[in-house]
Amino acid sequence: MSNDGKKRLIIVGIGETAELATDYFTHDSCYEICAYAAERGYLEKKLPEKSFLGCPVLPIENIKDKYPPSEYEAFVAMAYGHLNHDRAEMYEKIKKIGYRLASYVSSYAFVASETHVGENCFILENNVIQRNVRIGNNVILWSGNHIGHRTVIENHVFLSSHVAVSGFCHIGEYSFLGINSCLGDGVTVARNNFIGGGVALMKDTKENEVYRVPVLKPERLSSKMVFGFSDK
């Protein structure tokens, strides 16, 4: 712990998600960010000055030499590249080094009783997580989602904003649910599914499926004709 009683944290990542995670952990958690880490080749290509947001950046390959796992925790701040498999791979790599993976749960989220949240989760503001929900490891819930009672979210899942998940649902590993998508009561989303924005699923899916709303085209009737107004 630092002198002010905060836990010490290393953020793995130097991209947009890392910047966002920095804001949330800094302003709404018991953690102090001490350093950032990235793979050596990526770091040399993207950030040769070895500094990010005012903190040192070290290659993952030797991060534990200066920041031992016995004294620091880590958080993998990555989005859903390759359907969450990139984030999952890094998560496993950091665990093997020996770090405990921290989770962030916004103080502005509602988390009911008898709910489990795993490690390296990122749960932002205005999420509603009802009673008896089980959330696995390395799961991201962006802002404003509803997770119904007794739903299970497996490892390495990403929910974008304003996703409505009814009760007794099951979301398989690596799946992605886009903005304003929704699941009916008791629906199972299989492993490696991509559910696009605005999709309403009322039946179970199979592994490796993609669901997307058809591209919208303007109707032949103009809005003036449908709603009966005229420009002045």
136-157 tens-digit pLDDT: 999 999 999 999 999 999 999 9
**Which residue intervals of the chain bear CATH 3.40.50.20?**
7-101
What are 144's two structure tokens?
A: 């404003």
Task: Return mean pLDDT, the chain.
Answer: 93
Per the rule left: phi > 0, alpha: psi between -120 and 50, beta: everything else, 44 is alpha
Least trusted range by pLDDT, from 31-35, 51-55, 68-72: 51-55
pTM of the model: 0.92
The CATH architecture that domain 7-101 belongs to is: 3-Layer(aba) Sandwich (3.40)
Amino acid 221: pLDDT: 78
**103-209 belongs to CATH 2.160.10.10:** yes
**Which residue intervals of the chain bear CATH 2.160.10.10?**
103-209
